[in-house]
Structure 1
């Protein structure tokens, strides 16, 4: 049951926001073998610079006002899986909605499986992941 949060400046249309959401979810299904219905995202749209503050040249790379920050929260995964997830999300967002890689930042917060709850969720006691997941990393 990952929880995804996305921060962006306000003003993007519904199709853009939907493409961001879908690109992230497709990457998570592909890399982490998530079931299609294991989908929970919150988009935070922030007004202007005073509420969305970042250096437009941090790490020496120009960032535009389209910069997205994505926080992924889920059970622990191996470093290689997390790196593959970052790259797949970035690749997907470049394709749709056409985001520049330079305008993307991501972080992961890992939690123990016992820190998640949703009525009806079936947990594999060995992996701590959704019992419907098979063959995932």
Structure 2
């Protein structure tokens, strides 16, 4: 059960924001095999001045960054994580018009016991 936080500028249309949300979710389904109905996202918009980023860090030219933070259970290979990044960028470019240079993705991994998805129970613990 990944938990996804997406931060983007508030001047994006509701349709673009939905396409960003969908693109991230579809990448998670395709790259790491989460179930299609396993969708938990927090989408937050900000005025441009609230999204601070280096426009040239590591030689990438950024203009309108979309931050994607994904918290998920530990255990995916480096190859699967890199495939996830590629799929997110591809989906956001194709479906939401977001430039690949403007997509920043971070993963935070934890253990199954670190999740309760309701009722005060750690449902992912066998």
The normalised TM-score by structure 2 is 0.89
* RMSD (Å) for aligned C-alpha atoms: 1.7
Which residue does the alignment assign to 1:101?
100
Which residue does the alignment assign to 2:41?
41
Q: 1:74 and 1:48 mapped to 2: Cα distance?
A: 28
How many pairs align? 123
Q: 8 Å contact 2:112–2:125 — kept in the other structure? A: no
What aligned pairs does 1:21-36 form with structure 2 within 5 A after superposition? Answer: 21-36=21-36
Task: Give the 3-state SS of the residue equivalent to 1:96 in structure 2.
Answer: helix
Matched, 1:63 2:62: yes
Return 5+ residue gaps in structure 1 as ranges.
Answer: 126-137
Stretches of 4+ moved more than 3 A in 1?
119-125
Matched, 1:81 2:83: no
Q: 1:19 and 1:48 mapped to 2: Cα distance?
A: 20
Which residue does the alignment assign to 1:133?
none
Return 5+ residue gaps in structure 2 as ranges.
Answer: none
